[in-house]
Amino acid sequence: GAVVSQHPSRVICKSGTSVKIECRSLDFQATTMFWYRQFPKQSLMLMATSNEGSKATYEQGVEKDKFLINHASLTLSTLTVTSAHPEDSSFYICSVDALSEGTRTQYFGPGTRLTVL
C-alpha cells in the first residue's frame, strides 16, 4: 500500500497561534488526500477532502477559513490550523486515496497530536 508520512508528529502551541501540518505521500502520486480529526476515544471524523490543484471540499460544520488546506503537489497536502484554541486540541490524521493491487483504498499517515494551551 501507499506510504504516508506526517509532520510534525506532536505539537504544542499557545492559543492564538497557527500550526501547519504536512502530509506526504512518499511512494504514490495522490490526487486526493483526506484530513480527519480524532478526539480521544472517538472515531475519525472527516474534515475535508484535499484535491491537488484545486480547492478542498470541506465537510459540514468545518470552518474552511480556520482549517486551511493546500494541496499544491501530488505528494504534499498541508493543513493549517489558524488562530488555534484549546478546543482544537486533537489528533489530526491524513490519508491518501491510492490504488493498490487493482483496488482503491485509503492509507493513513501516523497522525499529528495537537495540544493548544
Burial bucket for residue 114 (CB in 10 Å: 0-12, 13-18, 19+): buried
Dist. CA 12–CA 56, nearest whole Å: 26
Hey, which bits of 26-64 come out as E strands? 32-38, 45-51, 57-58
Stretch that binds another protein, among 16-24, 62-70, 75-83, 104-112 (CB under 8 A): 104-112
> Binding another protein by CB under 8 A: which of 20, 68, 76, 108?
108
> Binding another protein by CB under 8 A: which of 34, 35, 67, 92?
34
Q: Which is nearer to another protein, 58 or 82 (CB)?
A: 58
> Binding another protein by CB under 8 A: which of 46, 62, 74, 76?
46
